[in-house]
């Protein structure tokens, strides 16, 4: 796999996507970078090779941490950055493959793929929430 | 904010903060994707219910409302000024012109195709079809207000175009081209927001967002599957 082409396409792809979601103009480039970092971690984990679910969990965790930093720096809701970051991780491809297997009456593969898509989206959400929980814990410890 | 795709907890939090800044410490808000209930306790109590019917993703608006609420909470804005600003925001046409969005959707589709291990030879096909996907979903949504229907038709168009592209030799990997091109339609934001709401304990919001995402995914999947069934069956 060509690393450079993956980096460039993930940057442009996520930045383009953030425009579709109407992110504020000044944050488009940052959104691209968040997406690039998330994708970089995801594909490097796959190269190891690690489980795609673990890879998605790690990547979304990192995306959430960076998004929190960006949200603080640019005084913008965190969702602006985290959405851009997780877009490439979201298992659209797996879901599509599952749907296709269903149509071809290959129910066994279809169910496997559907379960996998569900697990990956769960891992992404847990990754996001996990870093948020850590952030809250840190804030609470600082106050007390 | 809810109409524009903000998180449930953020909407609730924003309303409580504004109320607190106006001297109403005891207020309750209950937010779901289809309606908002807000009430104020105390001697001159009151309750409001707002129905939400249109949902889309507009993070610019979420950011702007967030800014306004922050300024209210810090006491920089009076209530009248804030209402004025919010009214302006509601009617303002923020966001990017459609041709910019179209270009971005097309480029993003091409890029995603490469990210999913596609070949550069298929870039042009994914580029064109991704743009077609966004324009057709926008057009059909303008034509009929049923979201499911417009997504289904857009997916059918993506499927037909992708099969055509492979047939005339403009593309090689049918799967990858379709995958990249449907990305502008895929409800990625909804899925993750749904799971997040569920984990945070907003079960009603989580389940209804999840249902919406599932319906969209179903529409896209069946649209594509419909075309593929013919393509494989007829073998043209």
Minimal C-alpha gap between A55 and chain B (Å): 15
Q: What is the pTM of this model?
A: 0.77
Measured in Å, how far apart are chain B's first and last C-alpha atoms?
A: 48
Closest CB to B115 among A13, A15, A125: A13
- Chain A residues whose CB is inside 8 A of the B189 CB are 21, 83, 87
Q: What are phi and psi of A36, to 5 degrees?
A: -60, -45
CA distance B78 to chain A (A): 21
- Reported as a single tens digit per residue, the pLDDT across B92-128 is 666 678 888 888 888 888 888 887 777 777 888 888 8
Which of A37-51, B42-56, B61-75, B105-119 ranks highest by mean pLDDT?
A37-51
Determine contact, residues A92/B183, Cβ cutoff 8 Å.
yes
Give per-residue pLDDT as tens, A26-79.
888 888 888 898 888 888 888 887 788 888 888 988 888 888 888 888 888 787
Mutate to test the interface with A, among B106, B116, B191, B233 (most CBs of A within 10 A): B191
Strand duo B27-32 + B46-51: pairing: unpaired
SS3 label, residue A5? helix
* Beta carbons of B111 and A13 less than 8 Å apart: yes
Q: Using one digit for the tens of pLDDT, what is the confidence trace for A103-138?
A: 778 889 989 988 888 888 888 888 888 887 888 888
d(CA B236, CA A64): 46
Looking at beta carbons, which residues of chain B come within 8 Å of A102?
221, 225
Q: Which residues, in sequence order, are CB contacts of A7 under 8 Å at separation 6+?
A: A36, A39, A40
**Cβ within 8 Å of B, A 35-94:** 39, 75-77, 79-80, 83, 86-88, 90, 92-93
Query: Lowest-pLDDT range, A4-13, A14-23, A59-68, B77-86?
Result: B77-86
To the nearest whole percent, how much of chain B has pLDDT over 70? 86
Q: Establish if A21 touches chain B: CB-CB under 8 angstroms.
A: yes
Q: Which residues does chain A have within 8 Å of residue B155's beta carbon, measured at their own beta carbons?
A: none
Who among A12, A92, A128 is closest to B186 (CB)?
A92
User: Is-contact B1 B33, C-beta < 8 A?
Assistant: no
Q: Which pLDDT score, from 0 to 100, does residue B236 have? A: 46
* A98: closest CA of chain B, how far (Å): 9
Interface A:B, Cβ pairs < 8 A? 146
Are B36 and B11 within 8 A, CB to CB? Answer: yes
Supply the pLDDT for residue B57.
67
CA distance A11 to B108: 9
Phi-psi region of B23 (alpha: psi -120 to 50; beta: other; left: phi over 0): left
Q: Which residues of A touch B70 (CB under 8 A)?
A: 75
Residue B35's SS3 state is strand
DSSP string, B181-193: HHTTT--HHHHHH
- For B165-201, what is each residue's pLDDT tens digit? 888 777 777 778 888 888 878 776 777 778 777 877 8
- pLDDT at B234 > cutoff 60: no
pLDDT category, B11, cuts 50, 70, 90?
Answer: confident
Query: Does the pLDDT value for residue B34 go beyond 60?
Result: yes
The pLDDT of residue A5: 82
- pLDDT bucket at B90, cuts 50 / 70 / 90: confident
CA-closest candidate to residue A90, choices A119, A132, A130: A119
Q: Select from B127, B200, B134, B199 the least CA-distant residue to B165.
A: B127
Residues of B (183-202) whose Cβ lies below 8 Å from A: 183-184, 186, 188-189, 191-192, 195-196, 198-200
Determine contact: B94 vs chain A, CB below 8 A: yes
Q: What is the ipTM of this complex?
A: 0.75
Tell me how far apart the alpha carbons of residues A114 and A95 are, in angstroms, rounded to a whole number.
Answer: 6
- From the list A10, A18, A121, the residue facing B195 with the nearest CB is A121
pLDDT > 60? residue B18: yes
pLDDT value at B4 more than 60: no
Q: What per-residue confidence (pLDDT) applies to B27?
A: 76
CA distance B110 to chain A (A): 8
Minimum Cα–Cα distance from B59: chain A residue = A23
Q: Report the C-alpha dihedral over residues A113, A119, A122, A128, rounded to 10 degrees.
A: -100
């Amino acid at each position: 796999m060509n690393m450079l082409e993956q980096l460039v396409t993930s940057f442009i792809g996520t930045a383009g996507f953030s425009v579709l979601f109407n992110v504020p103009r000044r944050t488009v480039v940052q959104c691209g970078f968040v997406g690039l970092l998330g994708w970089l971690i995801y594909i490097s984990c796959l190269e190891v090779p690690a489980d795609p679910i673990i890879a998605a969990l790690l990547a979304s965790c990192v995306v959430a941490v960076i998004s929190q930093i960006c949200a603080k720096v640019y005084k913008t809701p965190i969702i602006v950055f985290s959405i851009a970051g997780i877009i490439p991780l979201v298992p659209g491809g797996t879901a599509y493959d599952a749907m296709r297997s269903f149509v071809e009456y290959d129910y066994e593969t279809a169910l496997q793929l559907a379960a996998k898509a569900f697990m990956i989206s769960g891992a992404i959400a847990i990754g996001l929430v996990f870093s948020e929980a850590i952030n809250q814990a840190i804030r609470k410890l600082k106050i007390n | 904010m809810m109409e524009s795709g903000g998180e449930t907890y953020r909407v609730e939090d924003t309303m409580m903060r504004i109320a607190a800044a106006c001297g109403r410490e005891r207020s309750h808000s209950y937010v779901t994707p289809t309606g908002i209930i807000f009430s104020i306790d105390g001697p001159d109590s009151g309750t409001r219910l707002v129905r939400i019917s249109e949902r889309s993703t507009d993070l610019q608006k979420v950011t702007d409302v967030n800014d306004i609420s922050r300024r209210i909470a810090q006491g920089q804005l009076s209530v009248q000024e804030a209402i004025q600003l919010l009214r302006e925001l509601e009617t303002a046409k923020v966001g990017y012109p459609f041709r910019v969005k179209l270009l971005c959707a097309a480029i993003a589709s091409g890029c995603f195709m490469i990210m999913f291990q596609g070949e550069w030879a298929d870039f042009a096909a994914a580029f064109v079809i991704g743009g077609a996907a966004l324009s057709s979903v926008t057009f059909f949504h303008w034509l009929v207000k049923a979201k499911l229907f417009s997504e289904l038709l857009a997916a059918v168009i993506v499927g037909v175009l992708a099969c055509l592209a492979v047939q005339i030799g403009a593309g090689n990997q049918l799967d990858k081209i379709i995958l990249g091109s449907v990305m502008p339609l895929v409800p990625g934001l909804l899925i993750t927001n749904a799971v997040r709401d569920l984990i945070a304990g907003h079960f009603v919001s989580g389940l209804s967002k999840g249902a919406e995402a599932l319906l969209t995914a179903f529409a896209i999947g069946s649209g594509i599957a419909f075309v593929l069934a013919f393509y494989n069956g007829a073998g043209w």
